[in-house]
Amino acid sequence: MEIKNVVVAGGGVLGSQIAFQAAYCGFNVTIWLRSEGSITRTQPKIDNLKEVYLDTIRQMATPEGQTPENWARGIADYETFDMEACLAKVETAYKNLKLELDWNKAFGDADLVIESMAENVDEKIAFYKKLAPVLPEKAIVVTNSSTLLPSKFAKYTGRPEKFLSFHFANSIWKNNMTEVMAHAKTDKAYFDRIMEFAKEIRMLPLPVHKEKSGYLLNSMLVPLLFSGMDLYVNGVSDPESIDKAWTLGTGAPKGPFQILDTVGLTTAYNIVQMYVKLPSFLAPYNFKGMSAMLKKYIDEGKLGQSSGEGFYKYNK
């Protein structure tokens, strides 16, 4: 099962990172996008990632950069680090990474498709239905969904035995962890191949042996984000104070609202929407309040760090 041509469907925060990391590791990578507007939004992310990788590599060559907390494990091993070689790999990745709108050009010779679209069930199903007749038989398909189960989409892919979940953490050049989760009809050979591919792009794959919404990471992270937003929308405190309660009280580098800005408020909104219709006696949080709050931020163009402002302001 050779994997040479990788297509990432979606150029959002994680989609662009996955694509750049795979290109950095020598794979032929295409990002499939839905519209010219998507290209306009995605290209600046790729431009920024190039600079982030270059800056990170230069820092890794300094005494401060060689500390465990600053070392980017997704870029190089400590023992064999070669700054010039790593810098050259970034330039090659940036040069060779393609953005494509045409379905046949993007997917016609794909060995692996990594779906990294918004957490919207109907949009994902529509994508898989349109993708299935275009893909070559050899292609493996994975979803980077952060909360949705692969069994929900498997039948729409036309290859349920070659379909599974492959979830990444944010800032993957540093937080090089992935979660690999099969569903009941996934052939173990393809599960094993994705575990191996993860290593080929310098990730540490963690097997998830049973389908679980939220996998490992988000099963722990999402309740934290819900709790933070619940405190805010119920008027208990403000985002900065809530973040400080978490970071100063636990030593964590980011609080829930800083994490939300990093992940993106659109992703957060889509996750919250899955809970809005819960009966009030079953809802442990004020999901309707969270939904309205997030929509207001999104409507104002405050999408998080990628747009320059979310709960905090950032220099673009």
For 31-86, the pLDDT digits (tens) are: 999 999 999 999 999 999 999 999 999 999 999 999 988 899 999 999 999 999 99
**Thinking of the domain 218-307, which architecture would CATH place it in?**
Orthogonal Bundle (1.10)
Provide the residue ranges of all domains of the chain, joining segments of one domain with +.
Answer: 5-208, 218-307
Burial of 154: CB neighbours in 10 Å, binned 0-12, 13-18, 19+ = buried
Counting every residue written for the chain, the total comes to 316
Sole residue written with tokens 């994997």? 3
**Percent above pLDDT 70 for the chain:** 100
97-106 pLDDT, tens digit per residue, is 999 999 999 9
Tell which residue, 81, 75, 84, has the closest CA to residue 53.
75
316 confidence band (pLDDT: 50, 70, 90): low
Distance, CA of 290 to CA of 222 (rounded, Å): 13
Task: Give the pLDDT confidence score for residue 258 in this predicted structure.
Answer: 97
Residue % of the chain over a pLDDT of 90: 87
By the 10 Å C-beta count (0-12 exposed, 13-18 middle, 19+ buried), 206 is classed as: middle
Question: Cβ(212)–Cβ(181) under 8 Å?
Answer: yes
Classify the phi-psi angles of 215: left when phi > 0, otherwise alpha if psi is within -120 to 50, otherwise beta.
left
Decide if pLDDT at 218 tops 90: no
Q: Which amino acid is at 160?
A: P
What does the mean pLDDT of the chain come to?
95
pLDDT of residue 263: 87
Predicted TM-score (pTM) of the model is 0.81
DSSP state of 212: -
CATH architecture under which domain 5-208 falls: 3-Layer(aba) Sandwich (3.40)
Tokens representing 162 are: 């070659």
298: amino acid identity, one letter: I
Confidence of residue 118 (pLDDT cuts 50, 70, 90): confident
Q: What is the mean pLDDT of residues 239-259?
A: 97
